[in-house]
Structure 1
């Protein structure tokens, strides 16, 4: 008879109650961050008690859910609306809380079976889908639009037009992407932590885990640096509420965008109408042009030469990440192999940033053809990367910093020995 260790028995007791606690903690943390960010942005002034529903919609979009805008202005009017944006501060908070809850009962294990990991993840997934479903059903609201005192307002009064705009969720799409989001969080948690992997996956451990750990550390380092800068700005330059709204809703959107720009990548975008970007005034100034604007080190430096510090920050932090990756890898892995690992890992990281940091928003209204879906009620905003050039630059940066980081780790004697065998 094989005796079970205390840690094995502790893990075996983790069931639906622990999965429920992990799920609720993640959703609650996301809801609190979203509510505080929206409060700082002034969303508590929304009519008809819409604030809780807007919070629910923010959490839904943070996990990749689909929130659809809709408009109704009657038979003689037209509306057009759309919104695509991920509040990454909310998403990151939920990811960290759920990942910690997922790996906590496994951290003292010597080995974990595939069935055990699948069962533990499956319980969390079932409860997570129920929570996301409840949020998706609650995230719907309709608002009336004031046409103002000018000609559009007079026409609205004459014909009894009360244009409305609202939002709702595509529940099946939200559940699908919410499940994919959770799967990505749990998989990354296994890779980054020291949680034991199933025996079949052990051969990938020494190649994948150090790179995954280094990339997560790199992204979190940018977030921490952004929080420090944001707090300094809030304390010294005023507009504290707006600054905290950006920190609590979209800080990773900013700092991870800065990471790619520091690599030399270019983003295309435009800001038109009443819309504004949750970004420093410098970015809004560059993008608020009649035609499509380019956002890169060159265009930003035309307005503020300090943006070249992004290049310095990237060089230092990427070299630190490469050193960290080499320090956590077996000593027998050669520098050129580290360079290839770093290049692939950084390219995948930049690909993720380019996918989640895209922004697209537009709204317009016309009455009897007047307004051309425009006037003071229309706006258009988008920001998207030049993907292939960004990935190419990431590969080059990864090769160089990966090689240098491996040499530095070897010179300082920070390389690990062989990975010990596991039963």
Structure 2
């Protein structure tokens, strides 16, 4: 049998598995975004715009870029949008990541070429699907100025403006490549069953226990946020709005709560008739024009229950340290656990801070000057990176050290059982 024919037969399952992962990932993202947008009322948009809006949300969720612009005559609509609907992103990432790892789960070691042969088709098919979705992500809407004087002026200055969105295809493919490559790398790092190249196996104890425990922490916060969202939908009215937030932006809020709980801060601003899809206490704080940064103390001044974020985060981080230690070999020392978890939580805090940030603005400009019609809005929620990442590293070191101490009795009992079993044989 020739080497070429064997390679070609080995390549077919890789392409088949990649196609299944990409198709399932995009199908899940489309379903979640469609459900969230329907709850938000987007199904009532004119001009059969709903599928195009769904495509735009999927593009954003997969790391792509969507531009907002429009206008006719001297009255123009101007806007910008930079955000990730992380509920959609997380659904697609979990689906594609699990299907990528599934064929590899029974292996302890795999060559670098084999992993690249598995990842390459998935990346290429992912980018092809993303490009097709980006071509669908375009739509224009007519905009009413809202002000009778401006409506009269628009009749003299030109037709009413339109605002629309377009996926930026080159930027979408570039950032989409980084998104899918990062996803596959993280999947290999956090999975305890996925194989590694032989030269990297020695790093298993240093990287995977802390990385997998950190991912469990992030998913646990999403689960807590889901419970809080369902409770709000059942008890506070407006269930459609609550489900829209759950289906589009739940991790955005859950991971924001995590960073605030360990002492992080965010620069927030909300001007105009639109705002952030956040709890009312946070919306009130970010609308304070004199505020430069928002932390848990600012929220607690509005609602004392916000101090519970600190207690929940402290327990969650201690549990993360214990989980990482239990998943590590017994010979790893407490100071090594502290270093490993500090690095993992610091990297997670950096990623969460960048992914959960929001920067959006929209307005109508008359002859390119100022805001017209009262529709102008600015919504920002940007991380204080040095604080979020620095405190995550500090908390990670403390939680890793304490978790290692708490795990010692478990490791001792496991070692004793192993010695007893060996003597029995």
State TM-score, norm by structure 1: 0.92
**Offset at residue 178 of structure 1 (A):** 0.8
1:405–1:24 distance in 2 versus 1, CA, 3 Å: same
Pairing 1:401-412 to 2, within 5 Å after superposition: 401-412=399-410
**Offset at residue 313 of structure 1 (A):** 0.9
Q: Report what 1:324 is aligned to.
A: 323
Given that 1:79 and 1:373 are in contact with CA atoms closer than 8 Å, whether structure 2 keeps it comes out as no
**Offset at residue 416 of structure 1 (A):** 7.7
**Offset at residue 196 of structure 1 (A):** 1.3
Q: Report what 1:109 is aligned to.
A: 107
Whose helix fraction is larger, Structure 1's or Structure 2's? 2
Given that 2:11 and 2:117 are in contact with CA atoms closer than 8 Å, whether structure 1 keeps it comes out as no
Alignment partner of 1:170 is 2:168: yes
Given that 2:263 and 2:296 are in contact with CA atoms closer than 8 Å, whether structure 1 keeps it comes out as yes
Instruction: Provide the C-alpha distance between the structure 2 equivalents of 1:108 and 1:416, rounded to a whole number of angstroms.
Output: 25
**Offset at residue 213 of structure 1 (A):** 0.2
Instruction: Provide the C-alpha distance between the structure 2 equivalents of 1:319 and 1:411, rounded to a whole number of angstroms.
Output: 16
Given that 2:271 and 2:287 are in contact with CA atoms closer than 8 Å, whether structure 1 keeps it comes out as yes
**What secondary structure sits across from 2:273 in the alignment?**
coil
Q: Report what 1:41 is aligned to.
A: 40
**Offset at residue 415 of structure 1 (A):** 8.8
Given that 1:85 and 1:358 are in contact with CA atoms closer than 8 Å, whether structure 2 keeps it comes out as yes
Q: Report what 1:351 is aligned to.
A: 350
User: Structure 2, unaligned stretches of length 5 or more?
Assistant: 2-8, 416-425
Moved more, 150-159 or 39-48: 150-159
**What secondary structure sits across from 1:341 in the alignment?**
helix
Q: Report what 1:90 is aligned to.
A: 88
Q: Report what 1:191 is aligned to.
A: 189
Q: 1:146 aligns with which of 141, 144, 147?
A: 144
Instruction: Provide the C-alpha distance between the structure 2 equivalents of 1:85 and 1:374, rounded to a whole number of angstroms.
Output: 25
Given that 1:329 and 1:415 are in contact with CA atoms closer than 8 Å, whether structure 2 keeps it comes out as no
Instruction: Provide the C-alpha distance between the structure 1 equivalents of 2:305 and 2:409, rounded to a whole number of angstroms.
Output: 33
**Offset at residue 149 of structure 1 (A):** 5.4
Q: Report what 2:72 is aligned to.
A: 73
1:350–1:369 distance in 2 versus 1, CA, 3 Å: closer
Q: How many residues align?
A: 407
Q: Report what 1:340 is aligned to.
A: 339
Q: Report what 2:420 is aligned to.
A: none
**What secondary structure sits across from 2:396 in the alignment?**
helix
Name segments (4+ residues, structure 1) moved above 4 Å.
10-13, 414-417
**What secondary structure sits across from 1:195 in the alignment?**
coil
**Offset at residue 292 of structure 1 (A):** 4.4
1:353–1:414 distance in 2 versus 1, CA, 3 Å: farther
User: Structure 1, unaligned stretches of length 5 or more?
Assistant: 2-9, 418-423
1:47–1:324 distance in 2 versus 1, CA, 3 Å: same
Given that 2:211 and 2:344 are in contact with CA atoms closer than 8 Å, whether structure 1 keeps it comes out as yes
1:416–1:42 distance in 2 versus 1, CA, 3 Å: farther
**Offset at residue 82 of structure 1 (A):** 0.5
Given that 2:82 and 2:360 are in contact with CA atoms closer than 8 Å, whether structure 1 keeps it comes out as yes
Instruction: Provide the C-alpha distance between the structure 2 equivalents of 1:263 and 1:274, rounded to a whole number of angstroms.
Output: 32
Instruction: Provide the C-alpha distance between the structure 1 equivalents of 2:129 and 2:236, rounded to a whole number of angstroms.
Output: 40
1:368–1:179 distance in 2 versus 1, CA, 3 Å: closer
Q: Report what 1:23 is aligned to.
A: 22
> What is the RMSD computed on CA atoms of the aligned residues?
1.9
1:13–1:286 distance in 2 versus 1, CA, 3 Å: same
1:398–1:381 distance in 2 versus 1, CA, 3 Å: same
Given that 1:286 and 1:293 are in contact with CA atoms closer than 8 Å, whether structure 2 keeps it comes out as no
